[in-house]
Amino acid sequence: MSGILVFAEQREGKLKRSVLECLALARAVGAGAPVHAVLLGGGTASAALPAIASELGRHGASMVHLSDDASLAQPQAEGCVAQLAAACAAVGPELVLFSASAMGRDLAPRLAARLGAPFVSECLAFARSDGGYTARKAMYGGKVFANLEVAAADGGAPVVATIKPGAHSTSGAVEASGAPAAEDVTPLAVVATEVRARVTAVTQSGAAGVDLQEADIVVSGGRGLKGPEHFPLVEALAASLGAAVGASRAIVDAGWVPHHYQVGQTGVSVNPKLYIACGISGAIQHLAGMRSSGCIVAINKDPEAPIFKAADYGLVGDLFEILPLLTEEVRKVKESS
Ligand SMILES: Cc1cc2nc3c(=O)[nH]c(=O)nc-3n(C[C@H](O)[C@H](O)[C@H](O)COP(=O)(O)OP(=O)(O)OC[C@H]3O[C@@H](n4cnc5c(N)ncnc54)[C@H](O)[C@@H]3O)c2cc1C
């Protein structure tokens, strides 16, 4: 048993940001053990795979196992799991990490079942313990946190886990040294597998614009906006910055915006470089989903609002005055540069 294996999810030739979080976590948990990445793709993504392999190396993968085949162009679970099982057989990892993306949620339990491995999903934190690993996850809709002890299976199967995107910083991965040497990118033979389900089309969800969990900048709105008719103030600032749009649960529950906008313990976790909270009080459940952001800016008229304790920069004032001014200034700067 050696090292930790990370599934390096890419979409259309672009590495998912949450993979860097898994690499950082693998480096922290592994404490020097080799970190292997499995990169699968084909078709139009093929040309981008070598660059992604280098990116993985720069972010902490000591070895990249690459399958480039037309059959992997549209990711479907049976083919991907066959490749992952082959990589596990070659590497013999003690731990396999997936991001808890739609794809990770699909592949990880299938791989665990195939390997007879213990599986833990949606981890917020993951650390080594005496008997194996301790995984922290939210339960009962985020009302309690559980620390689960996960022991390695008899017979040498690895522990398989999915990590909630945004729950772990990418900083440990960024410190890593240069790209992997050519010999560190190992072609994985394509495993012939009976594919019973095929992906015929991938349709974007209703969310327009930038993906919340992949964004470098997120602008979120809360109940301070007073009503759904004012949410365009948040969208305008986000558009000027090229940012994704998020929301507090209060306005999701009120039906102002769809559920997939919700940031927090029972929504999505985000980890952008810049998070701007507009009219959001900073309840603990909201902070749980954005506290690890690189820089937090809070706009709130109440100087005692808890969000200011988490913020790097705070603007105490009326968002109805601040947001249009800020949007205008950003536009001017963008136009002049
Ligand atoms: C089990 C559980 C899970 C939860 N999960 C989540 C979750 O995932 N995400 C989440 O967000 N919440 C979650 N919540 C809800 C959370 O506790 C808060 O109720 C919610 O985050 C509050 O949303 P808000 O900050 O928009 O509203 P409020 O708390 O009402 O805050 C509105 C803020 O706007 C400010 N404001 C008002 N007018 C203006 C103005 N003109 N200009 C500037 N500022 C203004 C106010 O000062 C106030 O601070 C959860 C709760 C529970 C119990």
pLDDT per position as a tens digit, 185-241? 777 777 777 778 877 887 766 555 678 888 899 999 999 999 999 999 999 999 999
Q: Are 193 and 82 in contact (CB under 8 A)?
A: yes
pLDDT tens digits along 111-123: 999 999 999 999 9
Q: Which of 27, 328, 329 is nearest to 173 (CA)?
A: 27
- For residue 54, give the 3-state DSSP assignment: helix
Regarding the beta carbon of 305 and ligand 1, being less than 6 Å apart is answered yes
Q: What's the pLDDT score for residue 80?
A: 92
What residues does 145 pair with on adjacent strands? 138
Across all residues in the chain, what is the average pLDDT?
89
Q: In one letter, which amino acid is 250?
A: A
pLDDT of 166 > 50? The answer is yes
Q: What's the pLDDT score for residue 104?
A: 96
Q: Which atom of ligand 1 is nearest to the CA of 265?
A: 8
Q: What's the pLDDT score for residue 177?
A: 54
The CA distance from 312 to 296, in Å, is 5
Binning pLDDT at 50, 70 and 90, where does residue 184 land?
low
- Assess if CATH 3.40.50.300 describes domain 217-336: no
Q: Which of 114, 90, 102, 96 is nearest to 193 (CA)?
A: 114
Backbone φ/ψ region at 115: left (φ over 0), alpha (ψ -120 to 50), beta? alpha
The predicted model gives 73-94 an average pLDDT of: 90
Instruction: Give the torsion through C-alpha atoms of 170, 51, 60, 85, to 10 deg.
Output: 100
High-pLDDT (> 70) share of the chain, %:
93
The CA distance from 166 to 10, in Å, is 17
β-pairing verdict for 119-123 and 125-128: unpaired
Regarding the beta carbon of 269 and ligand 1, being less than 6 Å apart is answered no
The CA distance from 64 to 40, in Å, is 10
Q: What's the pLDDT score for residue 299?
A: 98
Q: Which atom of ligand 1 is nearest to the CA of 223?
A: 26
Regarding the beta carbon of 281 and ligand 1, being less than 6 Å apart is answered yes
Residue nearest to atom 41 of ligand 1 (CA): 318
Distance 270 CA to ligand 1 centre (A): 17
Q: What's the pLDDT score for residue 1?
A: 55
Q: Which residue in this structure is represented by tokens 């195939």?
A: 114
Torsion sign over Cα 285, 289, 295, 297:
negative
The CA distance from 268 to 105, in Å, is 14
Angle (CA) 184-189-195 rounded to 5° is 135
**Higher-confidence position of 39 and 196:** 39
H/E run at residue 159: strand 159-163
Q: What's the pLDDT score for residue 182?
A: 47
The predicted model gives 314-337 an average pLDDT of: 95
Distance 307 CA to ligand 1 centre (A): 10
Regarding the beta carbon of 264 and ligand 1, being less than 6 Å apart is answered yes
Q: Are 35 and 23 in contact (CB under 8 A)?
A: yes
Q: State the CB neighbour count (10 A cutoff) for residue 91.
A: 21
CATH topology identical between 4-187 and 217-336? yes
pLDDT tens digits along 170-183: 665 554 555 555 45
Q: Are 214 and 16 in contact (CB under 8 A)?
A: yes
- Best mutation site among 164, 281, 325 for ligand 1 pocket (most ligand atoms within 8 Å of CB): 281
Residue nearest to atom 27 of ligand 1 (CA): 223
- For residue 154, give the 3-state DSSP assignment: coil
Q: What's the pLDDT score for residue 141?
A: 67
- Assess if CATH 3.20.20.70 describes domain 4-187: no
Regarding the beta carbon of 243 and ligand 1, being less than 6 Å apart is answered no
Regarding the beta carbon of 114 and ligand 1, being less than 6 Å apart is answered no
> Residue ranges per domain, the chain?
4-187, 217-336
Torsion sign over Cα 243, 249, 252, 256:
negative
Q: Copy the structure tokens of residue 16.
A: 């998912």
pLDDT of 285 > 70? The answer is yes
- Give start and end residues of each alpha helix (H) in the chain: 17-30, 49-58, 77-91, 102-115, 171-174, 231-241, 249-253, 284-287, 307-310, 319-336
- For residue 125, give the 3-state DSSP assignment: strand
Regarding the beta carbon of 318 and ligand 1, being less than 6 Å apart is answered yes
